[in-house]
Structure 1
Amino acid sequence: MLHIGCHLSASKGYYAMGKTALSIGADTFQFFTRNPRGSRAKPLDLADAEKLNAFVAEHHFAVLLAHAPYTINPCSSSEDTRTFAREAMQDDLFRLEATPHNLYNFHPGSHTGQGVETGIEQIAETLNVILKPEQTTTVLLETMAGKGSEVGSRFEELRAILDRVALGDHMGVCLDTCHVYDAGYDLVNDLDGVLAEFDRVIGLNRLKAIHMNDSMYGFASHKDRHAKIGEGKIGTEAFERIINHPALRHLPFYLETPNELPGYKAEIELLRSLYHE
């Protein structure tokens, strides 16, 4: 079964997101934990969270994916920025226990001139502070496109972070198709080779989720501009191979394409039609 959803607004609450997802044919969804361009989070509504928990169980949803705001940067050269990242992520993980056993994804960050090695050390340091043995949420490093001073565009960089995290069983990776392709991993012409390299460096057992995005600028561009499925440089045929690949087909897929709900609904229908049951 293809488990697929899209990014939804959390402005109307958890339960509303569940109902919206179901209405467009999704059986999972992604949402921001707080203002994606700011710092504020809505007050936690435990009753609303319980309604969502019951709803997703009733409708057999796949695991949900919470996304950290873009404003966090745990490897910034600014100590204040690193402190904000740590405090926001700690708060997010506390709040996510109201919807337990789901996923929390974040962009590893940009080293802002400090160098990749320093960035890797600082990201791991933050994770070693915020992760708790008793948490139920799995934290995911997202693969990045490699623009500017981003950390995480190479599989080796993600592995280096993971190797430095004490509670490694609480960690995983989210593979973004646009980012990986833009970073120079050829999903279109060598999907098997890319996945073999991922397995060699990180381990496919660490891969917990897929961000499904076409790429506006394409292979090795390092641009990170998402396109609608089939309207970018990756193309529909490659996405058909991705969702049906034996190493990937069991994973949850999350659309982050430039769409409103009708567009997401159409993409979900398209991808379901391409899935080989």
Structure 2
Amino acid sequence: MLHIGCHLSSSKGFKNMGLTALSIGANTFQFFTRNPRGGKAKEIDEKDVQEFLKLAEENNFTKLVAHAPYTVNPCSKEANIREFARMIIEDDLKRMEYLPGNYYNFHPGSHVGQGADAGIEIIADLLNELMTPNQSTIVLLETMSGKGSEVGSRFEELKAIIDRVELKDRIGVCMDTCHVNDAGYDIVHDLDGVLSEFDNIIGLEKLYAMHINDSLNTLSAHKDRHAKIGEGYIGLDGISNIINHPKLRHLPFILETPNELDGYAKEISLLKDHYKY
């Protein structure tokens, strides 16, 4: 079975997201924990959560992916920005326990001139402060495209963070196809080679989820502009190879393409038609 979904608005609650996912043929989804620009999160409606969990069990949903706000930069050189990131991630991890056993994804951030090594240390220190042995949520570091001073565009940088995190069984990676393409990993012509490199550096057992996006940019562009499936430089064949790869096909695939719901429904149907298992 193809485990596929898209990014949905959480404004109307979890049950609504579950019903919306089912209506477009999805069996998972991604959601922002709060406004993507940050700010106060809505209060958790426990009745809504329980109704969603029942719906998800009845319909064989796979793991969900929560996404931290884009404004979170845990390795900023500014103390107030780091503190904002700490407060958001701490609150989000507590809220995630209402949906036990799922994934919390965030962008590692930008070191803003401090250097990647300093950024890596700051990110790991923050995670060690906030992650707890009894949490059920797995925290995912997203692969980045390498624009500006982003941390995480190279597998070695993600490995360096993971090595410093104490709770090894609660940390992993979410690979974004647009981002890795833009970072210089040739997933179109050498997918096996890229996965072998990831395995040698980080370990494929640490890859928990995929963002499947085509890219408006060529290989190594170091930008971040998602394209609809088949309308970018990765292409439909490239995405099809990813969802069918024996080392990836068990993962949840999340679409973050520039679409409304009807567009996501078409892409989900398209990718199901290209899924071979």
User: When the two structures are superposed, what TM-score results if normalisation uses the length of structure 1?
Assistant: 0.99
Q: Say if 1:39 and 1:71, in contact at 8 Å, map to a contact too.
A: no
- 2:193 counterpart of 1:193: yes
Residue aligning to 1:5? 5
- 2:155 counterpart of 1:164: no
Aligned residues: 277
Residue aligning to 2:121? 121
C-alpha separation between the residues in 1 aligned to 2:38 and 2:158?
26
Secondary structure of 1:47's counterpart equals helix
User: What is the alpha-carbon root mean square deviation over aligned residues?
Assistant: 0.5
Q: What per-residue deviation string (whole Å, max 9, x for no partner) do you get for residues 2-58 of structure 1?
A: 000000000101110000000000000000001101222111111111111111011
Secondary structure of 2:250's counterpart equals coil
Residue aligning to 1:46? 46
- Summarize the alignment of residues 197-236 of structure 1 with structure 2, pairs less than 5 Å apart: 197-236=197-236
Measure how far apart 1:160 and its partner are.
0.1
Residue aligning to 2:91? 91
Q: What per-residue deviation string (whole Å, max 9, x for no partner) do you get for residues 121-169 of structure 1?
A: 0000110011000001000000000000000000000000000001111
Residue aligning to 1:74? 74
C-alpha separation between the residues in 2 aligned to 1:206 and 1:259?
29
Residue aligning to 1:255? 255
Secondary structure of 2:93's counterpart equals helix
Q: Say if 1:152 and 1:158, in contact at 8 Å, map to a contact too.
A: yes
One-letter amino acid of the structure 2 residue matched with residue 265 of structure 1: A
Return 5+ residue gaps in structure 1 as ranges: none
Q: Say if 1:50 and 1:99, in contact at 8 Å, map to a contact too.
A: no
Q: Detail structure 1 runs of 4+ shifted over 4 Å in the superposition.
A: none
Secondary structure of 2:193's counterpart equals helix
Secondary structure of 2:172's counterpart equals strand
Residue aligning to 1:174? 174
Q: Say if 2:38 and 2:72, in contact at 8 Å, map to a contact too.
A: no
C-alpha separation between the residues in 1 aligned to 2:3 and 2:50?
22
C-alpha separation between the residues in 2 aligned to 1:222 and 1:189?
18
C-alpha separation between the residues in 1 aligned to 2:47 and 2:131?
25
Secondary structure of 2:77's counterpart equals coil
Secondary structure of 2:30's counterpart equals strand
Residue aligning to 1:102? 102
Secondary structure of 1:141's counterpart equals strand
Measure how far apart 1:240 and its partner are.
1.0
C-alpha separation between the residues in 1 aligned to 2:40 and 2:215?
30
C-alpha separation between the residues in 2 aligned to 1:114 and 1:28?
38
C-alpha separation between the residues in 2 aligned to 1:39 and 1:158?
27
Measure how far apart 1:215 and its partner are.
0.3
Secondary structure of 1:81's counterpart equals helix
Measure how far apart 1:115 and its partner are.
0.5
What percent of counterpart residues are identical?
Answer: 64
C-alpha separation between the residues in 1 aligned to 2:260 and 2:84?
31
C-alpha separation between the residues in 1 aligned to 2:129 and 2:47?
29
Secondary structure of 1:51's counterpart equals helix
